[in-house]
Amino acid sequence: MAMEITGDELGKWESQLRKGGLGLAVLATLWSGRLYGLEILRRLEADAGMSVQEGTIYPLLSRLKADGLVDAEWVQAEAGHPRKYYVLTPSGRRRLKDMAASWTSFAGGLDRLLTPLKGDPA
């Protein structure tokens, strides 16, 4: 029996997909240099169209720091209050490269599989 995927199920699947890719996305925002929390969120939204619930970003950064992939330091900002900047550690850079290679290979394979669907009305 054919099963229709409901909007709700599609939403859940999308949310799982984003959750899985979020660690990679956050590490990728730090590739070119150090950023603070709100900058990371804005970069995710502007460059990847990823809207992240703001309260979840700091626990994630704390996890990446505990895993030794990023480092953090407080800097007195021009804005008048201190900001916590995050930067990739050497092991974070290596991990990001490995994750990016896995992602590219996975997404490329899936894309080839999905080619026949493109331009084919359902």
Applying CB under 8 A, which of residues 33, 55, 119, 121 lies at the interface with another protein? 55
SS3 83: strand
Applying CB under 8 A, which of residues 36, 71, 89, 93 lies at the interface with another protein? 36
CA distance 54 to 113: 34
Q: Which among 61, 57, 64, 17 is positioned nearest to 41, based on CA atoms?
A: 57
Q: Residue 70 to residues 10, 49, 51, 82, 89: CA-CA distances in angstroms?
A: 33, 23, 22, 19, 5
Place of tokens 């092991």: 91
Q: How many chain residues interact with another protein (CB under 8 A)?
A: 21
Span from 31-39, 89-97, 100-108, 112-120 in contact with another protein (CB under 8 A): 31-39
Applying CB under 8 A, which of residues 63, 108, 109, 111 lies at the interface with another protein? 63
Q: Is residue 99 near another protein by the rule CB under 8 A?
A: no
Applying CB under 8 A, which of residues 81, 110, 113, 120 lies at the interface with another protein? 81
Q: Is residue 56 near another protein by the rule CB under 8 A?
A: yes
- Residue 86 has what DSSP assignment? E
CB nearer to another protein: pick between 28 and 41: 41
CA contacts within 13 A on the Cβ side of 86? 28
Which residues bind to another protein, rule: CB under 8 A? Answer: 19, 36-38, 53-56, 58-60, 62-63, 66, 74, 79-84
